[in-house]
Chain A
Amino acid sequence: MSSSGFSVDEADLEKLSPADKAELRQFFANETQRSRIRAQTHELTGVCWTKCVPAGTVKSGALASGEQTCLANCVDRFMDANLATLKHLSSMRK
């Protein structure tokens, strides 16, 4: 294995058929999107944890039903607020 941790070198890359290249492009496009969604999930978990899980010692590893509802609402209202901001921004530009 090379220092980058990847075992494929440039000579190997030249062996890729057009069909496999196309499949890899699609694979990386999908992975890029999955990666963006996970990054946003990390962000939202931080924001919604603060809002939905009461301050102080955590007593249970399971989410209480009120916390679950709050987290679901938190995601939806965050997205609503995001859209409202974009909408208002576009109206300001007119």
Chain B
Amino acid sequence: MDSDSVKKTIMKEALQATNTAEAQVLIQNINETCFERCVPKPGSSLSSGEQTCLKACMEKYMAAWNQINTAYVRRIQQEVGNQGQGF
């Protein structure tokens, strides 16, 4: 490998590792949140209503994550723009 391919390999593998870790955190949070929400009293199996709720909950949680990420990034950029004001 030459310098460029070492660099590109490091970047590619670092991104893969980060993305895997990120996905695991998101999935774990979704599981905890949606299990709490959708399965208040665990029965002998997941009812169809619980399954529907779990699907909707997962989609909604991801939508919320994306919206919050956008709002948070916007706010950080705004704060950086305001630097020096306040304190």
**Would you call A41 and B11 a contact (CB within 8 A)?**
no
**Would you call A27 and B38 a contact (CB within 8 A)?**
no
Q: How many residues of A contact B (CB 8 A)?
A: 49
* Closest B residue by C-beta to A75: B71
Q: Mark A1-42, 1 if CB is under 8 A from B, else 0.
A: 000011110001101110010011001100100010110111
**Would you call A44 and B68 a contact (CB within 8 A)?**
yes
Residues of A within 8 A of B3 (CB): 15-17, 20
Q: How many residues of B contact A (CB 8 A)?
A: 45
In the complex, what distance in Å separates the CA atom of A61 from the CA atom of B52?
A: 10
With A8-B13, A58-B37 already in contact, the answer to whether A75 and B6 are too (CB < 8 A) is: no
Interface residues of A (CB under 8 A from B): 5-8, 12-13, 15-17, 20, 23-24, 27-28, 31, 35, 37-38, 40-42, 44-46, 48-49, 52-53, 55-63, 67-68, 71-72, 74-76, 79, 83, 86-87, 90
7 tightest Cβ-Cβ pairs between the two chains A and B: A61-B59, A58-B57, A75-B71, A20-B7, A17-B3, A41-B69, A58-B56
